[in-house]
């Protein structure tokens, strides 16, 4: 690994042309370069990462290594971009653990921030939680902004089946599909779960057990308040400068509808993709006619913690093909992905092979290290194993492999400005 003692920040993820034109504008302050070995290494110049163009970033590391912290730092930085750039960017974070509301409060531990010449600050993010939990959050005084709901008619047959983990082989799967089609033909796009239930009850081809099975599941879904006639406009999550969080944590273990968080990610990913493709065309026409790159829709970042859940290597998932579209062709329409996982071995290999910025906290599991071993580019001259062994054991250190600068870096991520609600549980009271 090369050492550089100059004080100019290191800018990662940016090619020479952009570097000359934009300098450090539109970058996120991720941390500092590690300059020496040992457990408390000397830290050097700042490390900035380009967020003004779409990238595929993969953040790995074992439990408690600092992945969610790194995602939070990216969100804090996106919220603090210079207004002219911020208004061209939007970010949506899928929160599988229910921790990112902490961004709305300033950090409690200010000592480390002081050491870095930083201060505790809250961050302007919009936190959306399941409708059924909004009151709980509010009663407990947790800072949330509202409920996230899906528009019933936006769920197509395959999404209903995925919600209940059904297939075309299951009579329930066939029944729900037929009912969705019937309702759609009858009422168009403005219908709710009750309309589906009525269609199921009047279905003439299914037996009563199958009908009852699906009706009970739909009633349960209705009780969550997630799927409504109106629903959150997904396009509104991607308005210029907005950083939003969708808390799907309570759907992790939902009995009878295990696929719900997958369906949320699939729908958000699909809608944003479709819209961005259209707006990209508008942008191009303006660029040709007016020589200016403007459009109402910003570049969109999707940040997914525990991404192996949605992009598994060896099982189907409704979100997988959509996220793979983001991975494979997202850069052209302006869709960036930041994926975090503690199990690179479990994630779809394209998420690894296509990433142009790899940020890895400590990893010790050999199968996981082997899975990212495929990344070893020609400009990397040291084995991953060796780099992990050299990495300090404290939290926040990371190895960064950047395809744009064709370099590898050992860094320490900066402390966060905002409240850390992911601190490991402890039995001690204070
Ligand atoms: N750069 C850093 N400076 C200070 N503390 C850090 C840093 N990075 C991480 N931490 C702390 O380490 C703890 C674990 O970090 P985090 O929750 O981000 O880990 P994780 O990799 O997401 O773990 P899990 O796999 O369990 O989700 C947190 O309390 C976090 O604040
Ligand atoms: Mg985490």
- 150 DSSP β-pair partners: 227
Going residue by residue through the chain, which has 430 residues, state the pLDDT in tens, using 9 for 90 and above. 455 556 799 999 999 999 999 999 999 999 999 999 999 999 999 999 999 999 999 999 999 999 999 999 999 999 999 999 999 999 999 999 999 999 999 999 899 999 999 999 999 999 999 888 898 889 989 999 999 999 999 999 999 999 998 999 999 999 999 999 999 999 999 999 999 999 999 999 999 999 999 999 999 899 888 899 999 988 888 899 999 999 999 887 667 667 889 999 999 999 999 988 888 787 788 888 887 766 666 899 999 999 999 999 999 999 999 999 999 999 888 999 999 999 999 999 999 999 999 999 999 999 999 999 878 788 887 888 899 999 999 999 999 999 988 999 999 999 999 999 877 555 555 5
Pocket test for ligand 1, best of 43, 58, 59, 66 (most atoms within 8 A of CB): 66
The answer to whether the CB of 286 falls within 8 A of the CB of 294 is yes
The reply to whether ligand 1 has any atom less than 6 angstroms from the CB of 396 is: yes
Cβ–Cβ under 8 Å, residues 54 and 280 = no
- Residue 429 has, within 13 A of its CA and on its CB side, a CA count of 0
| Cβ of 360 less than 6 Å from ligand 1 | no
Q: Report which protein residue has its CA nearest ligand 1's atom 2.
A: 396
CA distance 151 to 131: 13
User: What is the model's pLDDT at position 181?
Assistant: 97
Token pair recorded at residue 311: 């992009």
Q: State if residue 67 touches ligand 1 by the CB under 6 angstroms criterion.
A: yes
Q: Phi/psi at 427 (nearest 5 deg)? A: -80, -10
Coil vs helix vs strand at 46: strand
> How many angstroms separate the alpha carbon of residue 141 from the centre of ligand 1?
24
- For 205-332, where are the alpha helices, taking DSSP H only? 208-224, 234-237, 260-290, 320-329
The reported pLDDT for the residue numbered 172 is 96
What atom of ligand 1 comes closest to residue 424's alpha carbon? 29
- Give the count of beta carbons closer than 10 Å to the beta carbon of residue 304: 27
Angle at 27 between CA 24 and CA 28, to 5 degrees: 135
**CATH 3.30.300.30 assigned to 10-149+232-359+397-413:** no
Q: Are 363 and 385 in contact (CB under 8 A)?
A: no
Nearest CA to ligand 1 atom 14: 64
> Does the beta carbon of 98 lie inside 6 Å of ligand 1?
no
For the chain, the straight-line distance linking the first and the last C-alpha, in angstroms and rounded, comes to: 41
Rounded distance, CA 288 to CA 280, Å? Answer: 12
Report the pLDDT value the prediction gives residue 59, as an integer from 0 to 100: 98
CATH 3.40.50.300 domain position(s) in the chain:
10-149+232-359+397-413
Distance 299 CA to ligand 1 centre (A): 28
The bound ligand whose nearest atom lies closest to the alpha carbon of 420 is 1
CB 70 within 8 A of CB 367: no
* pLDDT of res. 374: 79
Residue 173 CA to residue 167 CA, distance in Å, equals 6
Instruction: Tell me if 395 CB under 6 Å of ligand 1.
Output: yes
394 lines ligand 1 (CB under 6 A): no
Query: What pLDDT shows up at residue 429?
Result: 56
Whole-angstrom Cα distance, residue 103 to residue 236? 20
Does residue 68 have its Cβ closer than 6 Å to ligand 1?
yes
Query: Which residue is closest in CA terms to ligand 1's atom 8?
Result: 396
- Per-residue pLDDT, 424: 57
Q: Is the CB of 66 under 6 A from ligand 1?
A: yes
Ligand 1 in contact with 287 (CB < 6 A)?
A: no
Relative to the alpha carbon of 421, which ligand is closest?
Answer: 1
């Amino acid at each position: 690994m090369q050492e550089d003692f100059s004080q100019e920040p290191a800018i990662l993820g940016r090619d020479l042309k952009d570097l000359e034109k934009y300098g450090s504008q539109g970058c996120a302050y991720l941390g500092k370069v590690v300059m020496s070995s040992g457990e408390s290494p000397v830290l050097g110049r700042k490390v900035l990462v380009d967020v003004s163009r779409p990238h595929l970033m993969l953040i790995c590391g074992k439990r408690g290594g600092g992945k969610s912290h790194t995602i939070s730092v990216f969100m804090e930085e996106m919220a603090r971009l210079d207004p002219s750039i911020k208004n061209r960017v939007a970010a949506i974070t899928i929160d599988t653990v229910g921790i990112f509301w902490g961004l709305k409060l300033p950090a409690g531990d200010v000592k480390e921030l002081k050491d870095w010449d930083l201060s505790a600050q809250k961050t302007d993010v919009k936190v959306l939680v399941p409708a059924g939990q909004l009151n709980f959050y509010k009663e407990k005084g947790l800072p949330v902004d509202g409920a996230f709901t899906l528009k019933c008619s936006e769920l197509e047959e395959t999404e209903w089946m995925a919600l209940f983990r059904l297939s075309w082989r299951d009579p329930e799967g066939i029944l729900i599909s037929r009912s969705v089609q019937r309702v759609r033909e009858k009422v168009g796009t403005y219908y709710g779960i009750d309309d589906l239930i009525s269609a199921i009850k009047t279905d003439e081809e299914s037996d009563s057990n199958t009908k009852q099975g699906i009706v009970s599941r739909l009633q349960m879904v209705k009780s969550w308040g997630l799927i409504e006639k109106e629903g959150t406009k997904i396009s509104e999550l991607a308005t210029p400068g907005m950083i939003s969080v969708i808390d799907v944590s309570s759907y992790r273990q939902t009995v009878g509808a295990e696929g719900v968080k997958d369906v949320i990610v699939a729908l958000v990913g699909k809608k944003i993709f479709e819209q961005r493709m259209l707006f990209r065309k508008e942008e191009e026409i303006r660029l040709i006619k007016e020589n200016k790159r403007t459009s109402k829709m910003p570049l969109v970042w999707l940040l997914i913690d525990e991404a192996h859940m949605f992009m598994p290597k060896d099982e189907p998932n409704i979100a997988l093909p959509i996220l793979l579209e983001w991975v494979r062709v997202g850069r052209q329409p302006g869709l960036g992905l930041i994926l975090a996982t503690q199990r690179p071995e479990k994630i779809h290999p394209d998420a690894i092979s296509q990433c142009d910025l790899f940020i890895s906290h400590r990893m010790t599991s050999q199968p996981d290290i082997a899975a990212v071993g495929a990344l070893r580019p020609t400009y990397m001259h040291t084995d991953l194993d060796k780099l992990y062994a050299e990495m300090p054991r404290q939290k926040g250190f990371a190895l960064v492999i950047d395809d744009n600068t064709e370099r590898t870096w050992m860094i320490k991520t900066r402390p966060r400005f905002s409240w850390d609600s992911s601190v490991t549980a402890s039995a001690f009271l204070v």
